[in-house]
Structures are given as C-alpha cells and as structure tokens.
Amino acid sequence: MNEILRAEEVHKAYHIGKRAVEVLHGVSLSVQRGETLSIMGASGSGKSTLLHILGGLDRPDAGNIFFENTSLVTMKPPKRAAFRARRVGFVFQGYHLLPELDVLQNVMLPSMAARLKDVKSRAEHLLEQVGLSGRMDHRPQELSGGEQQRVALARALMNDPDLILADEPTGNLDSHTGENVLNNLFDLTHSSGRTLVLVTHNEAVACRCQRELILKDGKLEE
C-alpha cells in the first residue's frame, strides 16, 4: 500500500456566538497514491470543511492529517503554506481567478510565487492541454464558465502537485460543459499518476472516481 494522505479521527465545529455547529465528528480516511476518490454529501454536510482540512487550508479541532506521514496539524503555518503551494492543487467551484490578470498570468502566478523555473513555457503547455492556447491574453471575465474552470485547472497543476483537491468543480456549469471540464481534470490527474479527491453533491460526477465515499452526520461511509 502506498498511502499519500491520511485523516485520523478529525473533528471540527464552527462557533457562532455561543452556539457551536458540529460539522465533522471523527472522520478517518486513507487515500492511496494515484487513486481517484469522491466524497459525496448534501449541501451543508461539511464537504468543503473536510477538503480544506485535508489540504492544510484549515486545521481540525481534534484529530490529525498526515501527508506522506508528515502531520499537517503540527506543521508551523509558513511551512504549511509552502507545503500546500508545492504539493497540493486546489480547484474550487467559483474558479477564483484574479480578474485583473490575463489567463496566462493567472496560470503562471503560483509558480512565480514559489520561484520555480520555466514558468511561462509550463503555463503555455498546460493551457494547450486544456484547449485554451488561443485565449492566453484574455481576461477571465471574457471567458465562459467552463473556460474559466479550465484555466483554474491549469493553474492548479502549475506546481506539479501530487494531490489535487477539487471542491464541486463543475457545480456552476451545465452538465455538458461540466463533463468536458471533468475530462480535462481526469486526464491531467492520470497523466502524471496524481491523486484526486473530489467533493460533490452530484452522483453522476462522483461515480467517475474509482472509489466513492459519503459524508453524512459528520462521518464518512463507504
């Protein structure tokens, strides 16, 4: 077994005034390198919360996350940020592109921040892979939703992450457009033996992954 990511008894609650909203009640999970895994759950079930914790964007109240046996919980924030930038690619439902930058600049940004080499040629190559060579000098608002999400995919792949975490990546797209974006996502995942964890409330999206889990009442079920 070649495990890349492990969650152990993760708990998380949000506090609004004096009221605590319990979201995760002991989530445990082992993700193998190279696998594609979906986590399905109703809206509000805690999918985004869990994905953010898995990728080190947020910390659990209790429990631990191990990436290749290194704890993300005890890692100091600057180290965790550097780890995220180099090892994890995030894709969000709302694309999160910077409106004042063109497509090529948006894709180049994470690698420039990480001071990597050959940034421009890699960005151009990734944009070619998602079929957007002709749109490099466009601003995000000049693109369709599906095109914007493909830019976000290219950006997520820029630092050659081992793990891709996708949060409802086709949630804002019609089913045909969403299918094309998923084809790009799965191609990019498989082409370098990357690992994908995808959260969705859509069964048709979830079933494209090799393994499907359900998040319900704060726990994961097969």
Ligand X SMILES: Nc1ncnc2c1ncn2[C@@H]1O[C@H](COP(=O)(O)OP(=O)(O)O)[C@@H](O)[C@H]1O
Distance CA 170, CA 152 (A): 12
Per this entry, what is the length of the chain? 222
Q: How far is the CB of 192 from Mg ion (least distance, A)?
A: 27
Could you tell me the smallest distance in angstroms from the CB atom of residue 30 to ligand X? Answer: 21
b/e string for 155-184 if b means 16 or more Cβ within 10 A?
bbbbbebbbbbbbbbbbbbeeebbebbbeb
Give 39 or 182: the residue with its C-beta nearer to Mg ion. 39
Residue 181 is a binding residue for ligand X (CB under 6 A): no
Q: What share of the chain is helix, strand, coil (3-state, %, to 5)?
A: 35, 30, 35
Residue 48 makes contact with ligand X by CB under 6 A: yes
Q: Torsion angle, CA of 32/181/151/48, rounded to 10 degrees?
A: -50
Look at residue 146 and give the partner it binds from Mg ion, ligand X, none, a contact being a CB closer than 5 to 8 Å depending on partner kind.
Answer: none
51: Cα within 13 Å, side-chain hemisphere:
27
| 218 contacts ligand X (rule: CB under 6 A) | no
State in angstroms the smallest separation of the CB of 213 from ligand X. 13
47 binds ligand X (CB under 6 A): yes
Q: Does 141 bind ligand X (CB under 6 A)?
A: no
Which of 191, 173, 193, 192 lies closest to 181, judged by CA?
173
Structure token digits, residue 40 = 């399905």
Interaction residues for ligand X, span 4-43 (CB under 6 A): 14, 16, 21, 23, 41, 43
Q: Which one of Mg ion, ligand X, none is in contact with 23 (Cβ closer than 5 to 8 A by kind)?
A: ligand X
CB of 78 to ligand X, least distance (A): 23
The listed partner (Mg ion, ligand X, none) that binds 46, CB under 5 to 8 Å by sort, is ligand X
- We find the least distance from the C-beta atom of residue 125 to Mg ion, in angstroms, to be 31
Would you tell me which residues interact with ligand X (CB under 6 A)?
Answer: 14, 16, 21, 23, 41, 43-49
